């Protein structure tokens, strides 16, 4: 058997005898991915219960409630009638309601008088009760109220403009009926965009798999210096085996460990947690490129270190530095612009970008080719540095 394979097989046997390596490579990514997906699963299916206090009991207040209970909004909001302002405020405070809308007395009359009198400029208003603890629900409630009031005001303006232009007042009812059928020029509609929503588990499954894969850098680096301390490296070198052969053997063990770890997480999260990874061939290309990057960063840490403590400290810096910059803890899309740019300097940042594109249904060769080429470029630079440094420090 070639020396490279012998060294790789020996490292793999040691790796799988170590319980911590099994936990970090297989158990932890599955557990953390499941926990994080459960924690963020509530944000994937947004639904609020909103109260309505109707002091008006007029035509427009009824239209507003009908608007909230329309088929288009049934998956977003559930409407509950509340008797008075104090009860609505208390229910919002106690989180029994996400928000509440108060329709003031005279709401319908104000809109009607405004349409009948061209000189009236006061806008019709609704009162929205919200909580600082539910900001998203507050924004949605304000959007519902603003949308309805804007439509009412647009109808008033249309009728008022027609009357001011010479339309007879006797046609007010006809003009109001015609205006009620109109819509403001800018409205929000649900249209297909050809992509799938990004679920929490579909993001955190590859994210946590990559994060814990990065711990292989520390395992291998510590293993190298442990063997050097007991003289095993010297015995292997006396075989004779070149220093680069030793490095490539250890790199191959990291590669095999990475394939096993990522493959296990992929299968389990797909079968039991419903994670979508995308096309298997594309996923394999991105995964192998990411594992190759981990291999070269492992070699670079070994080449830069002189002792096992240095290797442990440097590998921790590399692991958590890449995880923080690459977006393994928080989605890069939610980060500031600078962080989004820095993520593109990391292999895991590119890998996550590729996985997100695949799971959301993005198409085109660039979805795979771009992140793979970027990761291979990073791998080539890190690998070249590792080989040069390792040759210079082969005798320790």
The predicted structure's pLDDT at residue 133: 84
The predicted structure's pLDDT at residue 45: 66
Binned at pLDDT 50, 70 and 90, residue 16 comes out as confident
Question: Rounded CA gap, 358 and 352, in Å?
Answer: 10
Q: Which of 110-114, 200-204, 245-249 has the lowest mean pLDDT?
A: 110-114
Whether the model clears a pTM of 0.85, i.e. scores above it, the answer is: no
Please state, in angstroms and as integers, the Cα–Cα distance from residue 286 to each residue in 75, 88, 274, 370, 371, following that order.
36, 52, 20, 10, 7
Question: Rounded CA gap, 379 and 294, in Å?
Answer: 8
Question: Hey, which CATH number is domain 46-180, 1.10.540, 3.40.190, 2.60.40, 2.60.120?
Answer: 3.40.190
Q: Which of 36-45, 370-379, 382-391 has the lowest mean pLDDT?
A: 36-45
Q: How many CB atoms lie within 10 A of CB 197?
A: 10
Question: Rounded CA gap, 304 and 314, in Å?
Answer: 9
Average pLDDT over residues 329-354: 88
246 or 271: which leads in pLDDT: 271
293 or 238: which leads in pLDDT: 293
Domain ranges of the chain: 3-41+198-392, 46-180
The predicted structure's pLDDT at residue 76: 87
Binned at pLDDT 50, 70 and 90, residue 287 comes out as very high
The predicted structure's pLDDT at residue 300: 92
Average pLDDT over residues 121-130: 72
The predicted structure's pLDDT at residue 349: 95
């Amino acid at each position: 058997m070639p020396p490279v394979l012998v060294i790789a097989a020996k490292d793999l046997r040691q790796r799988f005898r170590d319980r911590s390596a099994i936990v970090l490579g297989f158990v932890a990514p599955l557990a953390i991915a499941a926990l994080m997906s459960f924690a963020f699963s509530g944000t994937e299916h947004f639904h609020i219960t909103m109260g309505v206090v109707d002091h008006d009991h007029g035509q427009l207040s009824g239209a507003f409630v009908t608007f909230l209970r329309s088929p288009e909004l049934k998956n977003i909001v559930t409407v509950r009638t509340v008797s008075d302002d104090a009860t609505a405020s208390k229910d919002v405070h106690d989180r029994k309601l996400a928000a509440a809308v108060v329709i003031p007395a005279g709401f319908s009359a104000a809109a009607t008088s405004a349409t009948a009198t061209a000189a009236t400029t006061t806008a019709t208003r609704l009162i929205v009760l919200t909580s600082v603890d539910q900001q998203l629900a507050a924004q949605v409630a304000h959007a519902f109220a603003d949308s309805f009031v804007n439509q009412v005001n647009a109808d008033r303006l249309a009728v008022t403009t027609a009357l001011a232009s010479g339309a007879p007042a006797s046609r007010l009812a006809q003009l109001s009926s015609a205006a009620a059928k109109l819509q403001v020029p800018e409205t929000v509609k649900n249209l297909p965009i050809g992509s799938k929503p990004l679920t929490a588990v579909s993001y955190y499954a590859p994210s946590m798999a990559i994060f814990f894969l990065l711990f292989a850098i520390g395992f291998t680096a510590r293993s190298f210096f442990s063997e050097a301390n007991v003289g095993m490296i010297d015995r292997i070198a006396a075989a004779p085996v070149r220093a680069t052969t030793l490095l490539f053997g250890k790199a191959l063990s990291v590669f095999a460990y990475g394939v096993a770890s990522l493959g296990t997480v992929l299968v389990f999260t797909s079968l039991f947690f419903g994670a979508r990874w995308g096309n298997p061939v594309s996923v394999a290309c991105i995964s192998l490129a990411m594992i190759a990057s981990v291999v070269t960063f492992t070699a670079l840490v070994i080449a830069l270190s002189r002792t096992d403590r240095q290797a442990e400290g440097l590998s921790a810096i590399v692991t958590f530095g890449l995880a923080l910059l690459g977006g393994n803890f928080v989605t890069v899309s939610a980060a500031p612009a600078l962080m989004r740019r820095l993520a593109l300097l990391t292999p895991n940042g590119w890998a996550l970008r590729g996985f997100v594109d695949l799971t959301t249904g993005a198409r085109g060769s660039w979805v795979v080719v771009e992140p793979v080429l970027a990761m291979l470029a990073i791998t080539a630079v890190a690998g070249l540095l590792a080989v040069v440094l390792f040759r210079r420090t082969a005798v320790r």
